[in-house]
Structure 1
Amino acid sequence: MKPLQNICTPSSSNRAGRKILILGLTAGALLILAVLSFCLGSSGLSPEQLWRALIQGDAGDKAYQILMYVRLPRTLGAALAGGALAVSGALLQAVLGNPLASPNVIGVNSGAGLFTMAAAAFFPGAIALGPVFAFIGALVAALAVYAIATRTGASRRTIVLAGMAVSSFLGAFTDIILTLFPETQMNRIAFMIGGFSGLNMSSLSLVGILIPIGIALAIALGYELNVLSLGEEVAGSLGLRAGIYRTVYLALAALLAGCAVSFAGLLGFVGLIVPHAARFLIGTDQRYLIPMCALAGGGFTLACDIVARTAFAPFELPVGIIMSILGGPFFVYLLFRRKGGMRI
Structure 2
Amino acid sequence: MKNIFISSLFYLFLFLPYLNYTNADHTLLHNLNQKKAKSKNEIQGSTSAKDTTKTPTLEKCKKKIATLAVVEPQDYEMLALSQYSLPSPTSLIRLIVQQSNCFIVLERGIAMQNLLQERTLSSSGELKQDQNMGKGQMITADYILTPTIIFKEANTGGVGGLLGGLLPGNAGSVAGIIGGSLKFSESQTSLTLADTRSGIQVAAAAGASKKSSFGVVAGLGGSSAAAGLGAYSNTPEGKVVAAAFLQTYNSIVDTIEGDKDLIRENSLLEFKKEGGKKIKKAKKSIVGEVRLSKINNVPVFTKPDGENIIFKLTSKEEVVILGEEGDYYNIMGSGGEGWVKKILIK
Judging by fraction of residues, say which structure has more strand: 2
- TM-score, normalised by the number of residues in structure 2: 0.22
- TM-score, normalised by the number of residues in structure 1: 0.22
Judging by fraction of residues, say which structure has more helix: 1
- Which structure would you say has the larger Rg? 2
Greater RCO (CA < 8 Å, at least 6 residues apart)? 1
